[in-house]
Chains A and B, each alone.
Chain A
Amino acid sequence: METTHTHRLNLLWLKSNPISPRLAIAAGLVALFVAVPLIYIFIRALGAEPEAWQRLFQTRIWKLLGNTLVLVIAVTSGTLLTGVSMAWFTERTDMPGRKFFRWMLALPLAVPAYIGGIVHLALLRPRGGYIPQVLESIFGQPVPTPSPIGFWGAAFILTLFTYPYVYLLSAAAFRSLHASLEEAARTFGRSPFQTLFQVTLPALRPGLAAGALLVALDILAEYGTVALLRYETFSSAIFVQLSGRYDRSAASILSGILVALAILILWSELRLQGQARYTQMESNWRPAPPVMLGKWHIPALLLVTCVVSASLLLPVIVLTVWSLQAFLDPKTLTTVFHIGSQGFGSYVWNSLWSSGLAALMAVIFSLPVALLSVRYPNWFTRFISRFCQVGYAIPGVVIALSLVLLVNRLLPFLYATPFVVVIAYVLRHMPQAVRASESALNQLSPSLEEAARTLGRTSFQTFAQVTLPLILPGLMAGGSLVFLTSLKELPATLLLRPAGFDTLAVRVWMWATEGFYSQAAPVALLLVLASAFPLYFLLRREQIFK
């Protein structure tokens, strides 16, 4: 209801305030900034030699397409199953420790999937992992254990570390669900089980779809985990092409196809998001009574504990043990503390400032776009806003490829500076900032701005003195999200970093892929901790943590 009201006010505002040309130009420039790398990739892909297309179509593309899609479907289903069931336990049952488990189930977002993959690989690697070795020493003979390598491993690991997206969205949806909805179903004689499948879940659908598609885009772009677990997808194949021969056409073609695939998913996500309005909370909302688990308490607790252990506790414990090993071994310790002639402090600092700057830039860039699309809603401003969210669909490797080619040709003075890495972060994570800024502006009634204008403030003064202070918390949330995801970013950083510019993520990756786990561990632990802070701030804003 609130939304329609604001929308009407926006239209009124529009009548009395024609679009400011400066604002339109600023938003247009931001859209251009986002568009250039994308368009460049398509031009390169289409301009590639027909033989290159032919060679790829004959050999790689179908297998890559199959691999990628199967993984996307498997992980999306896995996260839906895990996320929704976990949300049901913490929001709709009387399971003990719900408040504690809410945090535990959301915090895996601070663990990058590739770090989770490193830990699980070390534990479960067939024959060589800790678990198979312990089992062998107990039973005196090799005991078959599930392997984390290949398709099933990649699907398992990625599910474990991306389900919190779905968990958070579905927990919020469970929370806002109207009690009367289910009561009505029960009154009509539906069993609780039927109610869940016929009423509750369908009502959650918009939230679930948004979460699932977010996961799907994430998996399309995933590099570290699939490379580690040796499952070839488009992203990892592009990375191999880029670090292979000096021929950008194959990489461009694969990138073009990958981006087209991602845009397709993004487009359906945006369509669903547009229809997702009816989950708005109403004033007579009251929570549905929790389901009494009774004798099912123990199994429920066990199940939730298993998920929390695999996705949060186990990685943190293993990293802590490895870190202790590193600190006890002076040789490893000295290695951790310097690379080239750079020290530990330098890559911690690099991570913080590059992600921080990216967050600041993304938020600033998102403002004109959000102002335009919220205050002057029409097809064109909506298009610009949608367009600025295309970064979701451009995986890190593709952004890296396009920036390497573009910056060196057009802006050679920027080439091989850390700023290229920052630009990649901004491009990739801008959608998060745009969405946050739009939702912050949507909650602000334009009548406040109207009043300021009536009192003789210029449009800029109004923005600086009225709008900005009021939307600042929302902008901070967007910035935190960009900061968090930039901190974890791997492929673009690996490809674009200048010599001597290491980040926490790069260090973890370089050491862990060489098998030096105890060196990688303290850095990984620090990365998880550094991610936990902005995540904590973000989660505090969520309804379920209030």
Chain B
Amino acid sequence: MSKTKISFIIILMMIMVSACGAAPAVTEAPLVEVSGDLVIYSGRTEPLLQPVIDVFKAKYPNVEVLLKAGSNSELANALLEEQANPQADVFITTELFTVQSLAQDGIFQSYPPVGADQLPAEFLGTDNLWTGLTRRARVIIYNADLVSQDELPTSIFDLTDQKWKGQIAAAGSTNGSMQAQIAAMWQLIGEAETEAWLNGLIVNDVTFFGGHTDVRKAVGSGEFKLGLVNHYYYYLQKAEGSNVGIIFPDQGEGQIGLITNATAAAVVNGAPHLSAAQAFLDFLVSPEGQKLFAEQNYEYPLLPGVEVHGDVQRLEGFRFADVDVVEAAQDFEVTFDLMEKVALP
């Protein structure tokens, strides 16, 4: 009995050892094998993705990376249009609602990248149809030369306050992070109040830019006092030497909490270059890829054990807005109706 038990354990250990030995061999083999094109549709803007592509390219010199960057919804439209004739291998978004709703439309194929099992479950798509990459928070950036500490807003609802009229910049209706914020608010406070907030912004002469880089630069230069951005834009602007500050809003009792979202990547169903796509996802989730996002762009890595950038305010201790991704993705369409109804620029 005990002999068979021991031999069983030995065999089991051998399998485990060989598995451990085999595992690196499996992940390292493609390093030389993967070649050809890799077509990436990215809702992340180019400057925020290029450093990651550079390192990936150094690891896989035979892969030709073809990048098309645009807004999440523009590329989502392209993916839907191309469903019968897929062109892209990998889709990267700046929020989860677009990937989730495309996943429901059958645009992606299941692929769990190596190490994805370590990611928090809420940042993984059903059946591994998408994988979260980094987390980001919606914050208010302010120009510290123009706004004193005692008058700082504490809530995104303060942005509709008359005293900031004409002094606020934000991203407009084509921006994925802004769309996602509106979708999240829809779920948190309902249609009527979300509409009232958007109308409040418009009445308050908020200037809506196409993207957040413009917002951070405009606040940094003093063109506006406040800006509604993702947290890393504050750090990017600070790194350029501007005297700017950051507010993590809505932390009080009864307030909606900090709205966060995540970037995600997915392998397209029918991807023409599957092995390159999988290698790229593996790389994005790997400690090396995660570290690049954290170090170069001040984002919150999702892979446990990868440190946030030393300057970045850690998320522990904040109250978060509680948003259900699947539900918000289903309501995403009405968000667009609402933006059109209030004529958000």
Contact = CB atoms under 8 A, between A and B. Distances in A.
Contact of A516 (B47, B82, B333, B345): B47
A65 B208 CA distance: 21
Interface in B19-57: 37, 39-41, 45-47, 50, 53, 57
A499 B221 contact: no
Contact of B53 (A247, A340, A415): A340
B238 to A, nearest CB: 16
B134 to A, nearest CB: 19
Contacts of A515: 213-214, 217
B41 A513 contact: no
A127 B85 contact: no
Nearest to A149: B207
B66 A244 contact: no
A543 to B, nearest CB: 43
B332 to A, nearest CB: 9
Nearest to B72: A243
A128 B221 contact: yes
B93 to A, nearest CB: 14
A415 B221 contact: no
A334 to B, nearest CB: 9
A341 B65 contact: yes
Nearest to B332: A245
Interface in B45-79: 45-47, 50, 53, 57, 63-71, 73-74, 76-77
B87 interface: yes
Contacts of A412: 84-85
A11 interface: no
Interface in B83-97: 84-85, 87-88
B297 to A, nearest CB: 13
Contact of B345 (A230, A242, A339): A230
Contacts of A415: 82, 85, 87
Given A127-B221, A246-B77, A341-B57, A499 B345 contact: no
Secondary structure of the B side of the interface? Answer: mixed
Interface residues of A, number: 42
Contacts of B82: 408, 415-416
Contacts of A500: 37, 39, 64-68
Given A128-B217, A499-B41, A339 B87 contact: no
B88 to A, nearest CB: 7
Interface in B289-345: 333, 336, 339-341, 343, 345
B223 interface: yes
Contacts of A86: none
A2 interface: no
Contacts of A243: 70-71, 73-74, 77, 174
Contacts of A340: 40, 50, 53, 65-67
A242 B81 CA distance: 12
A440 B208 CA distance: 49
B210 interface: yes
A447 interface: no
Contacts of B66: 340-342, 498-501
A240 interface: yes
A125 B220 CA distance: 13
Contact of B68 (A127, A335, A497): A497
Interface residues of B, number: 51
Interface in A478-512: 494, 497-501, 510
Interface in A381-417: 404-405, 408, 412, 415-416
A60 B340 CA distance: 9
A126 interface: yes
Most buried by A among B77, B213, B223: B77
B39 A246 contact: no
A341 B343 CA distance: 39
A127 B37 CA distance: 45
B173 interface: yes
B211 A513 contact: yes
Contacts of B218: 125, 128
Nearest to B208: A230
Given A128-B223, A243-B70, A244-B336, A416 B173 contact: no
Given A128-B218, A416-B87, A515-B217, A499 B67 contact: yes
Given A341-B53, A499-B40, A500-B39, A242 B77 contact: yes
Contacts of B46: 339, 510, 514
Interface string A324-342: 0000000000010001111
Given A246-B76, A408-B85, A416-B87, A339 B343 contact: no
Contacts of B209: 230
A405 B78 CA distance: 10
13 contacts: A59-B340, A125-B223, A128-B221, A128-B222, A232-B345, A405-B81, A412-B84, A498-B66, A498-B87, A499-B68, A500-B37, A501-B66, A514-B47
Q: Which 9 A-B pairs have the closest CB atoms?
A: A500-B66, A243-B74, A128-B221, A340-B67, A499-B68, A128-B223, A245-B336, A499-B66, A416-B87
Interface of B: 37, 39-41, 45-47, 50, 53, 57, 63-71, 73-74, 76-77, 80-82, 84-85, 87-88, 173-174, 207-211, 213-214, 217-218, 221-223, 333, 336, 339-341, 343, 345
Given A244-B173, A335-B50, 15 more contacts: A128-B217, A232-B345, A243-B77, A246-B76, A250-B340, A342-B66, A342-B67, A497-B68, A499-B68, A500-B39, A500-B67, A510-B69, A514-B46, A514-B213, A516-B213
